Chain A
Amino acid sequence: MNDKVHLDRAHLRHLLTAMLRIRRFEEKCFELYQGEKIRGFMHLYDGEEAVSVGVVETLRPEDAIVATYRDHGQALARGIGMNKLMAEMYGKLEGCCRGRGGSMHVFDAATRFYGGNAIVGGGLPLAVGTALGDKMLKRNSVTACFFGDGAVDEGSFHESMNLASLWKLPVLFVCENNLYSMGMAVERAEADTDIGHKGVAYHMPGEVVDGMDVVAVEAASHRLVAQVRESRVPCLLECRTYRFRAHSMFDAQLYRQRAELETWRQRDPILRLQAWLGETGMLHAEEIERIEAEVAAEIDAAIAFAEAGTLEDVKDLERFTIMDRVPQ
């Protein structure tokens, strides 16, 4: 494994594209939600794209991911096809979970994507388990476990951190600290708001990184994943980030000030990278327009795919409640 992230033009273009795919995909999802094409709970990742793009970039195909109900970013970064993801948002049979999971429960066996867990903190024990299984089966895989600052309030966070460290399991715990668990500000929920510091209690190495800087996230994740893989110990990465939109589609955002949002918007990970690429002459405006056009075309195709999708026959309602075999 390389011990450094190579910041060449192609790679930076790739990072920008990956973030733009998530941003534009979700902007379209917002519209589709207003148009009632997408229903249920939907949690947008707007502002946090650098976290999943930076971390997933450092994973290998054999690695596993456990994510939360705010999972579109991880799913797209991991390479779950946009068509399958959009079809899932539409509740169509062609979706990655046949339309059964929706926005909050993206699963994909091919990329070892184990949800999309909508119980805050519910995915952490699962990630400990996939890492335990991988270790016992002598695979050299890492499980990247994403969770928010709200999960840190839960007992399962502490149980999982302890178990992973005690048993030396290959987990990268990634805290997406966006400062609010729904409307609860982190300083109103945590006696010690320094989440990265909590790893110390479990003898777990870690880093705290600017989650609005994709290159910084990638570099930190790169170091920690290498440590997890080589030393077979878990690590904790706290990414300090912010969501620009409401918690879900039903949130009037009474708990935060407009000014705070505007301050964070200045640090938009996509605008920052674009500006830097422009200043350094690495990527010209025409190139960015080309990327935007590619992304727009991919989204249009995904919508067409989802629109053309079919609905699962209700006669299959009970199918897969009880499995007749373990899928290979």
Chain B
Amino acid sequence: MSQSAGGPQPRRITYREACKQGIRSAILADPRVFLMGEDVARYGGCYAVTKGLSEELGEDRIRDTPLSEAGYVGAGIGAAIAGMRPIVEIMTVNFSLLAADQIVNNAASISHMSGGQFAVPVVIRMATGAGRQLAAQHSHSLEGWYAHIPGLKVLAPATHEDARFMLQPALDDPNPVLIFEHVMLYNREDVLDQAVTGVDITSAKVMRPGSDVTLITYGGSLFKTLEAAETLHAEGIEAEVIDLRVLRPLDTPALLTSVARTHRAVIVDEGWRSGSLSAEIAARLAEAAFFDLDAPIRRICSAEVPIPYAAQMEQAALPQPAAIVAAARGLVPSR
């Protein structure tokens, strides 16, 4: 991010700190908001997002739970129906499967099933993704599964701005909102633009304009994709990079607008290819942008294996900039 010459140096903060600022200000702004999850208070959060918050805000508002994902996620849903605005933290998306019944059968269904008598304004945050050698039960990217479910909204903040500001509109939303934070982003440092005080939770965002190919991605893959775009630029290929930001409902018009100009698309998704979010996006482009496309849609996804521990194996399983570059290059005719 550029800085004005001679001015005060804007403070660089981590993505983790941006998340924490969002949580802190949401709790301070509304007595109905509280956060609960495993080791969020005295331990400070498994990824240290809530470190120090319980001392400041109290253990009623930053609430440690037992290791009972179904129990406390369901309790968050019930508390939301009763009038609170809970933020429920789950250590990782893999653990959310223990609470999937509550998320799918209760949170996502109760509004429709009750004929609109109840809303479920709960926010559920969780870590997702690989890259820390945490192996097959802590590294998966299952956000695409939740993006399949009507009744949920699904967010994937990749930037500091979104990490800082997506939480408030998520809490203001009358529907259950799931927020996926990629584990490789927590230590990333950046500055927050002081002029920005809020973001929407409806639109995708063009992160880098380009005219030759559209690279569609989200979450932890965004920065790999931007790196790939830089490499492509050096080769004379101008890639447009779109950060989906919102995985459900998808901002399909933004994708169509871009592809109408570039005529080519590569989708980068850390989820597995089969039955994935990337498959959904590819289908939407095929349905609505077929005549705009000059080349087949390409996808860069994780290898279809449980993510392994060993570093070289893990990295081989994940989408990498070189593969994104190769896919884009293959779509653009040489000049």
State the A residues within 8 Å of B (CB): 64, 66, 95-101, 105, 107-109, 114-115, 117, 119, 122, 124-134, 136-137, 155-156, 159-160, 162-163, 166, 319-327
Binds A, one of B14-22, B110-118, B327-335: B110-118
Chain B 82-120 per-residue mask, 1 if CB under 8 angstroms from chain A, else 0: 111000000000000000011001100011111111110
A107 touches B117 (CB 8 A): yes
Asked whether any CB of chain A lies closer than 8 Å to the CB of B146, the reply is: no
A163 to B70, CA, bound (A): 11
When distances are taken between beta carbons in the complex, the residues of chain B under 8 Å from A96 are: 115
Name the residue on B nearest A134 (C-beta): B82
Chain B CB within 10 A, most for which of A64, A107, A126, A134:
A126
Contact between B79 and A136 (Cβ–Cβ < 8 Å)? yes
Closest A residue, CB atoms, query B82: A133
- In the complex, the chain B residue whose C-beta lies closest to that of A320 is B116
Q: Which of A108, A114, A117, A160 contacts B81 (CB 8 A)?
A: A114
Complex Cα distance, B68 from A318, in Å, reads 33
B78 is an interface residue with CB less than 8 A from chain A? yes
Give Cα A96–Cα B74 distance, bound, in whole angstroms. 24
Neighbour of B83 across the interface among A105, A137, A162, A320, CB < 8 A: A137
- Pair A97/B115 contact, Cβ less than 8 Å: yes
- The reply to whether A100 and B113 contact each other, CB–CB distance below 8 Å, is yes
Tell me if B78 and A323 are in contact (CB < 8 A).
no
Closest residue of A by beta carbon distance from B114: A107
Chain B: minimal CB distance from A118 (Å): 8
Contacts of A100 in B (CB 8 A): 112-115
A-B contact pairs, 5 of them (CB 8 A): A97-B113, A101-B115, A136-B32, A137-B83, A320-B112
Q: Is B133 an interface residue (CB 8 A)?
A: no
Among B32, B76, B114, B150, max chain A CB count under 10 A is at B114
Given contacts A126-B77, A129-B75, contact A109 B82 (CB under 8 A): no
**Is A122 a contact partner of B117 (Cβ separation < 8 A)?**
no
Tell whether, in the assembled complex, residue B112 and residue A130 are in contact, meaning their CB atoms are under 8 Å apart: no
Q: In this assembly, does B45 line the interface, its C-beta being within 8 Å of a C-beta of chain A? A: no
Q: Which residue of B lies closest to A129 (CB)?
A: B78
Structural contact, B66 and A166, CB atoms closer than 8 A: yes
Q: How far is the CB of A30 from chain B (nearest CB, A)?
A: 24
Cβ of B117: which chain A residues have Cβ within 8 Å of it?
97, 107-109, 327
Query: Is B34 in contact with chain A by the CB < 8 A criterion?
Result: yes
Q: Is there an interface contact between B110 and A107, defined as CB atoms closer than 8 Å?
A: yes
Residue with the greatest number of chain B CB neighbours at <10 A, chosen from A64, A130, A323: A323
User: Measuring CB to CB, which residues of chain B are less than 8 angstroms from any residue of chain A?
Assistant: 32, 34, 60, 65-66, 68, 70-84, 101-102, 105-106, 110-119, 121, 150-151, 153, 174-175
Given A125-B71, A137-B82: A324 touches B76 (CB 8 Å cut-off): no
Cβ contact within 8 Å between A129 and B70: no
Report which residue of B34, B105, B112, B175 has the largest number of chain A beta carbons within 10 angstroms of its beta carbon.
Answer: B112
A109–B117 alpha-carbon span in the complex (Å): 6
A120 to B73, CA, bound (A): 16
Verify A129–B82 contact, CB threshold 8 A: yes
Complex contact B84–A137 (CB within 8 A)? yes
Interface contact A126-B68, CB-CB below 8 Å = no
A130:B78 contact, CB within 8 angstroms: yes
Q: Say whether A136 contacts B116, CB under 8 Å.
A: no
Contacting B75 at CB < 8 Å: which of A97, A98, A115, A163?
Answer: A163
- Distance of A130 Cα from B76 Cα, bound (Å): 9
Using known A-B contacts A125-B71, A125-B102, A160-B71, determine if residue A323 contacts B116 with beta carbons closer than 8 Å: yes
CA distance A130 to B118 in the complex (A): 13
Given the known interface contacts A124-B74, A130-B78, A130-B79, the answer about A320 and B111 at a Cβ–Cβ threshold of 8 Å is yes
Measured CA separation A133–B81 after assembly (Å):
8
Lowest 10 CB-CB distances: which A-B pairs, in order? Answer: A129-B78, A125-B74, A133-B82, A159-B71, A98-B115, A107-B114, A320-B116, A159-B68, A133-B79, A129-B75
Give chain A nearest CB distance to B146 CB in angstroms: 14
Contact assessment for B78 and A125 in the assembled complex, using a CB-CB cutoff below 8 Å: yes
Contact call A129/B77, Cβ cutoff below 8 A:
yes
For the complex, what is the distance from the CA of A326 to the CA of B68, rounded to whole Å?
A: 28
CB-CB < 8 A to B105: which residues of A? 117, 119, 122
- The answer to whether A327 and B118 have CB atoms under 8 Å apart is yes
With A114-B81, A115-B110, A133-B83 known to touch, is A126 a contact of B74 (CB < 8 Å)? Answer: yes
Q: Are B174 and A125 in contact (CB under 8 A)?
A: no
Interface contact A327-B119, CB-CB below 8 Å: yes
| A109, A132, A322: the one within 8 Å of B151 (CB) | A322
CB of B115, distance to nearest CB on chain A (Å):
4
Please give me the residue from chain A that is nearest to B65 by CB atom. Answer: A163
Known contacts A100-B113, A133-B83, A322-B151: does B118 contact A126 (CB below 8 Å)?
no
Given contacts A129-B82, A133-B83, 16 further A-B contacts (CB under 8 A): A100-B114, A100-B115, A101-B113, A124-B74, A125-B78, A127-B78, A129-B78, A129-B80, A131-B78, A133-B81, A156-B74, A159-B66, A159-B72, A320-B112, A321-B111, A324-B174
Given A126-B78, A130-B78, A163-B71, CB of A326 within 8 Å of CB of B106: no
A64 to B75, CA, bound (A): 14
B170, chain A: closest CB distance, angstroms: 13
Looking at the assembled complex, report how far the CB atom of A238 sits from the nearest CB atom of chain B, in whole angstroms: 20
Q: How far is the CA of A162 from the CA of B175 in the complex (A)?
A: 28
How far is A101 from B84 in the complex, measured between Cα atoms in Å?
A: 25
In the assembled complex, the Cα of A95 lies from the Cα of B114 at a distance in Å of 10
Q: Closest B-chain residue to A112, C-beta based?
A: B82
Residues of B within 8 A of A114 (CB): 78, 81, 110, 118
Contact between chains at B106 and A128 (CB < 8 Å): no
B78 near A132: Cβ-Cβ < 8 Å: yes
Q: Which residues of B contact A129 (CB under 8 A)?
A: 74-82
Alpha-carbon gap, A38 to B168, bound state (A): 44
Report Cα–Cα, A10/B312, bound state, in Å. Answer: 78
Residue of A101, A125, A320 with highest tally of chain B CB at under 10 A: A125
- Give the residues in chain B near A132, CB-CB below 8 Å: 75, 78-79, 82, 84
